[in-house]
């Protein structure tokens, strides 16, 4: 009986925690995205730069831009089925080199969880 209650509570907490990333502020994310603009673009008419276009990246499969030359690490991750869901984006945006060894992305990462949430909300808004 006690095991069922703990499992039920754990399931409930997991379900409640998952939507947290979706609560970011897209307007704040647009401002924070200025840190990314040197390498990435989004929206209509966006072009690849040092990094690929990020329009539609949220919940998209990794490495799918045919006009961008990805690192071997990203190609391998894409072949392994990496999807840029909120959890993976959060990990990558926080510590790119830790999430994916030998990535081309030179950005050190965002330190504040709220900034990561806001960037993801912004990226979701420009799909």
Q: Provide the pLDDT confidence category of residue 118 given band limits of 50, 70 and 90.
A: very high
Q: Give pLDDT tens digits for 36-76.
A: 999 999 999 999 999 999 999 999 999 999 999 999 999 99
The verdict on residue 65 lying in a domain is: yes
Cα 30 to Cα 41: distance, rounded to the nearest angstrom: 11
| Structural domain that includes position 108 | 21-125
Residues 91, 116: contact at Cβ < 8 Å?
no
Mean pLDDT, residues 71-100 taken together: 97
Cα 72 to Cα 100: distance, rounded to the nearest angstrom: 11
Q: Give pLDDT tens digits for 7-25.
A: 455 444 444 444 444 589 9
Average of per-residue pLDDT values in the chain: 87
Number of neighbours of residue 6 by Cβ within 10 angstroms: 9
Q: Provide the pLDDT confidence category of residue 6 given band limits of 50, 70 and 90.
A: low
Residue 41 maps to which CATH number?
1.10.760.10
The predicted model scores a pTM of 0.79
The verdict on residue 2 lying in a domain is: no
Q: Is the pLDDT of residue 96 over 90?
A: yes
The verdict on residue 73 lying in a domain is: yes
Number of domains in the chain: 1
The verdict on residue 56 lying in a domain is: yes
Q: Which of 111, 65, 107, 104 is nearest to 90 (CA)?
A: 111
Question: 3-class SS at 104?
Answer: coil
Question: 3-class SS at 83?
Answer: strand
Report the run of H or E that residue 13 belongs to, with start and end: helix 2-17
């Amino acid at each position: 009986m006690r095991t069922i209650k703990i499992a039920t509570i754990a399931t409930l907490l997991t379900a409640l925690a998952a939507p947290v990333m979706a609560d970011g502020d897209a307007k704040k994310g647009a401002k924070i995205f200025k840190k990314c603009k040197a390498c990435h673009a989004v929206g209509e008419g966006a072009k690849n730069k040092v990094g690929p276009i990020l329009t539609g990246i949220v919940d998209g499969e990794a490495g799918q831009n045919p006009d961008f030359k990805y690192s071997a690490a990203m190609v391998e991750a894409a072949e392994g089925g990496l999807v840029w869901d909120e959890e993976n984006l959060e990990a990558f945006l926080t510590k790119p080199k830790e999430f994916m060894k030998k990535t081309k992305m030179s950005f050190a990462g965002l330190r504040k969880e709220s900034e990561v949430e806001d960037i993801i909300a912004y990226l979701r808004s420009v799909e």
